[in-house]
Structure 1
Amino acid sequence: MPRGTANVHDHDREAAAEQAREGVRAWVRQTGSRVEGAGAYAILALLTASAVPPTVLDQSSGDRLADLMADAGTDPGAGRSVFAARLLPRLTATGENGRALHEEISRVLRAADAVNTALAEAAATDDELRRVLEAAFQEIGLGVPELRWMLTDVRESADRLRRQLATRSLRLRRERDEMRRHLVAFTREQLPAGDAVPADVPGGAVPPYPGLVHFEPEDAPWFRGREPEIAEMLGHLAEQAAGGPPLIVTGVSGAGKSSLVRAGLLPGLASGALGAQAAAWPWVLVHPGVRPTARLRTRIRTLIPAPEDESRPDDSTEDDPSIAALAAAATAAGRRPVIVVDQFEELFTQCADPAERLAYVTELTSAAPALVVIAVRSDFYQDCVELPPLAKVLTAGHMVVGPLGADAIRRAVVEPAEHSGLSVEPGLPGLLLRDLGAEDGRPYEPGSLPLLAHALRATWDRREGVRLTVGAYRETGGIRHAIAETAERIYREQSPDERDRLREALLELVAVTANGTVVRRRADRAAADSLVLRRLVRARLVTVGADTVEISHDALLHHWPRLAGWVAEAREDAVLQHRITEAAAEWDRSGRDPGLLPRGSRLLAARESLDQPDGVVGDYLAAGWAAAEEQEAGRRRVAHRLRRLVAGADPGRPERRQR
């Protein structure tokens, strides 16, 4: 055959194949979900009809298909339907005729690459249809030997689609990250400059460092070195305001999460970094506590106008409106809430009811139009993941607070002092970096920032006029020992009786979780020994609120050896008390099922461990003791009856002995 003639034939075949592929694409687009419920052979008939329309008949396809097409008519739409209807009953034929027909169909579909074409079009237009077609082609490939190649085509199509989706996902992720970088950079431009004029106060009169307590919003002028993270958080908040998920901020204990949220994010929002309207949004700053949902509802209610305003939920008809409903009412009144849940780990250390935990995170993660920011220690990440609503948010993304760089640490030391009218001896920042382990750009031990903060506060206490000196810093004991030096000095200055009371008071502020993790516990101020704690409060090692008292930071638990020893001694009792509290809550939730009461050694250990418990725990142990006493009384009654029975049988025994 002349070369030119071969090229013409090749071109004709390719044109016919492309026309067949276009027919398949048109069939997929027009069919949509209408093939759902159709059998695999019906789909095969329709696919074949679309790949070989009556108006484009390649006689090489075979006599059987040609005869069917000749009878189908010339109208493309009607002809395809007639052809498919005539073909369908023949597809199940067996023997030589069946094999020959299947081979003809195989040649036609492979020439047009019909399976891949149909699946690709379905993937682009209707993913449910793609799944239906895949299942049909797999069934045919398994059932018809001549069409077994369909199994390979389905696998190859799935691999191709997976690669396409992965490439598209990667591209979108990169575009999203790039867009977020632009958003963060733009947001950072809107933040107030960090070189504000120093405060107009006598030099050094205002402490520039908070010590172990976290920075508060009013401390924002002294909070330096975290500007990139503040901008990133504000970017997340801007995305959330546009419909994105809540923001979860995590990091090790001592990474600076609370200060970043309180003295970074919130003042940045108030400064207008996200616009004038966002600057007026009210903050709802909470800790979970024992009853987190009720506490949060109460706080948001205060944002809603008086009852006569129709935008406020009617409490008479809805006793417990959702947090989202309350937030919507506040937003309608121009007060869109920004909910910040700090120390979120309290949900697992103070709220003993699993149902309450789940209800809280369910409401919190669906609180829109409120904006939600959650700060949680990373060692409670697994606990968070086990709550499905929170796991979904974590999967969508979260922000990890990492260590500060050396330059940021220098700024965090020098700039707050200068803002307060102080000067820093030139060698002090370098010495702090060395003691922190961050010199030469090396990463310092995670969670060490509270040690630095307390050492700086103690250095300020020993300042020489308006200068922070190396000598004053050395007197504190340095970063690694300043906390212990302060606490131990206070302890030694107490009388023996006060030392015992201090031990008991501090252990009341410590909790041990079920897995043995030692954490702070917020206690009722009225029940605390305020007198013995007051010197620790003045040293900012303990924090007193309006109604609560707590250890200022977990760092005190780990870096004051005496307290760590007390905790180790009390750990066994603390673990037992935690288990008793959880068991009592479970007993109460079950309707006080007698089968859940403590017995035997568990009951004795619980009574020895807890001194005059009240509330549910008191009821639980009292009921357990009453049940034990009733059980013992029943045992005595049974023993008494047995003795009487034995005594009634005794008269016969002497007679037997006499014989």
Structure 2
Amino acid sequence: MLGVRECSGQARRDREDDAPVVVLAGDDARLTGRAFLHTLSALAGPGRNGESPVALVVFALSTVCAEHWFEFPQLSTALRDAILLGPLSNEGLRAAIQRPAERAGLSLEPGLFDLLLQDLAGVPPADRLSLLQPALWNLWQDRQDTRLTISAYLDAGGIAGIGATLAEGIYEQLSTDERQAATGVLLQLIKLGNHIQPTRQRIARTALDCEGSPGAAVAMDILLRGRVLNQEGELVEIANFTLLSGWPRLRQWLDSRQEIEDAARAWEGQNRHADWLY
């Protein structure tokens, strides 16, 4: 969000008045409400007699679901003057980590940023911020006085370990029915081939088979609020790709599913002979 905040700050400086700035990210559920967008559009437009707009509205939207945003006239108008922000460079990442910490009176132990950068080296640029968010939150919770430390980061298991711990904590909040629904949702959002590395896949929320099962709606909301899942438009995906290998519970589910799929292929290969059933 650093680039978005800088853009909104520049926009405020370019204005002659002190109108409030409203910043909304693309995963904000309120953006799907036409009435809400109509209200924002009215606030950002000039008055009937040419008065200055009441507010400046800044939308941070992902290009993943760009077609979805053009369905809304208010957004399609704003997108004509869109500012495209690419992935953060290493220096951009440093600023995104250090500046908020400095504003909060915190400091990073020397070497911590380099360690974070090292763990993010193989991560696609689009996924870096989603992995940093839980890691930095954990560092803040386990800070020593006003310092974010390397020991706290390593004790938590680094990027992968922190994400798995948070996901497990979210899962443990669910009831029995909600856990069953969550398991079905998570497994559907993973593409599992014949002994190849599992990968995430985006699926429309309405296309998920367990959406109508008991506890599914509540489970989905909890997983989304806990950032175990992300939703952009109608598409849902697992937020943190390191969970596929770093979360023991999910890894166990995947191993079990792989075993069943292997057995099914073997059964098919033996012309569905009863001796190959188990």
TM-score (norm 2): 0.57
Aligned partners of 1:330 and 1:336 also within 8 Å: no
C-alpha change, 1:518 and 1:559, in structure 2 (3 Å) is farther
* 268, 280, 284: which one aligns with 2:19: 280
Aligned to 1:487: 167
Aligned partners of 2:108 and 2:148 also within 8 Å: yes
C-alpha change, 1:472 and 1:298, in structure 2 (3 Å) is same
Q: Secondary structure at the match of 1:463?
A: coil
C-alpha change, 1:529 and 1:475, in structure 2 (3 Å) is same
Aligned pairs (5 A) from 1:73-88: none
Query: By how many angstroms is 1:451 displaced?
Result: 0.7
Aligned to 1:296: 37
Aligned partners of 1:452 and 1:479 also within 8 Å: yes
Aligned partners of 2:23 and 2:57 also within 8 Å: yes
Aligned to 1:412: 96
Query: By how many angstroms is 1:348 displaced?
Result: 5.7
Query: By how many angstroms is 1:458 displaced?
Result: 1.2
Aligned partners of 1:424 and 1:467 also within 8 Å: yes
Cα distance in 2 between the residues matched to 1:410 and 1:503: 40
Cα distance in 1 between the residues matched to 2:108 and 2:161: 21
Cα distance in 1 between the residues matched to 2:151 and 2:167: 20
Aligned to 1:333: 51
More helix per residue: 1
Aligned to 2:8: 266
1 or 2 for the larger relative contact order (CA 8 Å, sep ≥6)?
A: 2
Cα distance in 2 between the residues matched to 1:563 and 1:415: 35
Q: Secondary structure at the match of 2:127?
A: coil
Aligned to 2:178: 501
* 239, 247, 255: which one aligns with 1:556: 239
Aligned partners of 2:108 and 2:149 also within 8 Å: yes
The Cα offsets for residues 258-279 of structure 1, whole Å up to 9 and x where unpaired, read as xx33x33334433xx21323x4
Aligned to 1:85: none
Query: By how many angstroms is 1:327 displaced?
Result: 2.9
TM-score (norm 1): 0.28
Cα distance in 2 between the residues matched to 1:348 and 1:563: 32
Aligned to 1:541: 227
Please say which structure displays the higher CA radius of gyration: 1
Aligned partners of 2:170 and 2:222 also within 8 Å: no
Cα distance in 1 between the residues matched to 2:39 and 2:228: 27
Aligned partners of 1:288 and 1:346 also within 8 Å: no
Cα distance in 2 between the residues matched to 1:365 and 1:445: 26
Aligned partners of 1:476 and 1:482 also within 8 Å: yes
Cα distance in 1 between the residues matched to 2:128 and 2:40: 33
The Cα offsets for residues 207-253 of structure 1, whole Å up to 9 and x where unpaired, read as xxxxxxxx5xxxxxxxxxx5xxxxxxxxxxxxxxxxxxxxxxxxxxx
In structure 1, give the amino acid aligned to 2:141: D
In structure 2, give the amino acid aligned to 1:417: A
Q: Count matched residues.
A: 220
For structure 2, the residue ranges without an aligned partner over 5 or more in a row are 190-200, 258-278
Aligned to 2:87: 403
| Aligned-residue CA RMSD (Å) | 4.6
* 452, 465, 477: which one aligns with 2:132: 452
Percent identity, please: 28
Aligned pairs (5 A) from 1:413-492: 413-437=97-121, 445-491=125-171
Cα distance in 2 between the residues matched to 1:402 and 1:284: 18
C-alpha change, 1:276 and 1:365, in structure 2 (3 Å) is same
Aligned partners of 2:131 and 2:240 also within 8 Å: no
Aligned to 2:194: none
Aligned pairs (5 A) from 1:126-205: none
In structure 2, give the amino acid aligned to 1:470: I
The Cα offsets for residues 601-637 of structure 1, whole Å up to 9 and x where unpaired, read as xxxxxxxxxxxxxxxxxxxxxxxxxxxxxxxxxxxxx
C-alpha change, 1:517 and 1:554, in structure 2 (3 Å) is closer
In structure 2, give the amino acid aligned to 1:296: L
